[in-house]
């Protein structure tokens, strides 16, 4: 009866704010308020000082400057880099954090462009793109060429979600949902005993089939090529770059939703699945323990869907 009484006294606490160029929302169950917004904002600020490209004095901004060949980095950046190298290997090079110069060259960075790049410019940039050209030695990050620049936006936001989740874990919170810029991680169940529910973000035109996921102790992210789109030689091009060719990836995948044990894994892999055909993506998902994928792709002027075998059980009936 004491246990039941304690559960009955649990309340849901909410927090929200702005950070990392986006918004965040957090809810957790507790008998009284344990974690405060100031603590969350402090975590966000610390990670920004490590990996934000918009902070001129962040560690990543310093590393990207052309007079740096090596830099002492903090634990946060080390954690993200180690996972980036793992995903790079698993994806056979498709996930590559050194494509930032290509992203900028094609006008998807902070500054736009008037004309698309010539082949000679692409070839020049490709000469210093590739994760084999950077390496982590202890807590020092090295690069072969001073022009190398990295972009961790495709993984760092998911990592931020995981760090906030760890803060809640250390505070003894057994039930929560953390969302930063659409990247989500859950633990436990809601006050009514049901799993947390997450609606999948879908592109315009694909609303004919709607899904709500029921998640416990898992993370979910979605990446879509409908957010940053331009037109090149009569075709739509997107901010996902092919690190081998130097051109934006062009395939028929519109969005990829990933379920994974951590938000960092989900965040990284949603970029990988955007770069593969639906058939290749589902085949890869079946080789990755704990990773499930839902793809929306375009075929014959219509939207179609593909799933990994383990995805469907998470869909609310």
The two beta strands, 140-143 and 70-72, are antiparallel
Reported pTM: 0.91
**How far is 68 from 142, CA to CA, in rounded Å?**
9
Rama region for 175: left / alpha / beta (φ>0; ψ in -120 to 50; rest): beta
User: Do residues 224 and 104 make contact, with C-beta atoms less than 8 angstroms apart?
Assistant: no
195-317 to CATH, choices 3.40.50.1000, 3.40.190.10, 3.30.70.260, 3.10.520.10? 3.10.520.10
**Cβ neighbours around 177 below 10 Å, total:** 23
Task: List pLDDT tens digits, range 28-79.
Answer: 999 999 999 999 999 999 999 999 999 999 999 999 998 889 999 999 999 9
Residue 256 token pair: 């990829």
Range list for CATH 1.10.3980.10 in the chain: 61-150
131: which DSSP letter?
Answer: G
Task: List pLDDT tens digits, range 217-245.
Answer: 999 999 887 555 555 555 566 678 899 99
**Cβ neighbours around 198 below 10 Å, total:** 24
Comparison of pLDDT for 301 and 207, the residue scoring more? 301
State the chain's mean pLDDT as an integer: 89
Interval 169-192 mean pLDDT: 96
Whether residue 120 is predicted with pLDDT greater than 50 in this model: the reply is yes
Range list for CATH 3.10.520.10 in the chain: 195-317
- Classify domain 61-150 at the CATH superfamily level: ApbE-like superfamily (1.10.3980.10)
- Give the DSSP letter string of 251-315: -SEEEEEEEESSHHHHHHHHHHHHTS-HHHHHHHHTTSTT-EEEEEEEETTEEEEEE-TTTGGGB
**How far is 6 from 231, CA to CA, in rounded Å?**
58
Residue 287 token pair: 């080789």
């Amino acid at each position: 009866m004491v246990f039941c009484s304690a559960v009955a006294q649990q309340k849901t606490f909410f927090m929200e704010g702005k950070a990392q160029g986006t918004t965040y929302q957090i809810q957790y169950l507790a008998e009284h308020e344990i974690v405060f917004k100031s603590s969350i904002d402090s975590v966000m600020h610390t990670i920004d000082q490590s990996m934000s490209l918009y902070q001129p004095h962040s560690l990543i901004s310093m590393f990207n400057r052309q007079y740096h060949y090596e830099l002492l980095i903090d634990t946060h950046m080390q954690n993200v880099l180690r996972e980036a190298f793992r995903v790079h290997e698993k994806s056979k090079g498709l996930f590559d954090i050194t494509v930032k110069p290509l992203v900028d060259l094609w006008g998807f960075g902070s500054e736009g462009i008037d004309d698309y790049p010539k082949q000679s410019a692409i070839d020049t940039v490709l000469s210093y793109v590739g994760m084999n050209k950077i390496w982590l030695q202890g807590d020092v990050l090295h690069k072969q060429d001073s022009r190398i620049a990295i972009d961790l936006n495709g993984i760092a936001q998911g990592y931020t979600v995981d760090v906030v989740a760890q803060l809640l874990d250390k505070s003894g919170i057994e039930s929560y949902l953390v969302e930063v810029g659409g990247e989500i991680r859950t633990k436990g169940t809601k006050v009514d005993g049901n799993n947390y529910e997450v609606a999948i973000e879908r592109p315009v035109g694909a609303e004919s089939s709607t899904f709500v996921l029921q998640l416990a102790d898992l993370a979910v992210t979605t990446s879509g090529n409908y957010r940053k789109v331009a037109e090149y030689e009569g075709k739509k091009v997107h901010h996902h770059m092919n690190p081998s060719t130097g051109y934006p990836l062009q395939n028929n995948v519109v969005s990829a939703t990933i379920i994974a044990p951590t938000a960092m894994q989900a965040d990284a892999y949603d970029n990988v699945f955007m770069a593969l055909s639906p058939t290749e993506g589902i085949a890869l998902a079946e080789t990755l323990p704990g990773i499930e994928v839902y793809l929306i792709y375009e075929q014959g002027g219509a939207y179609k869907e593909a799933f990994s075998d383990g995805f469907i059980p998470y869909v609310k009936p």
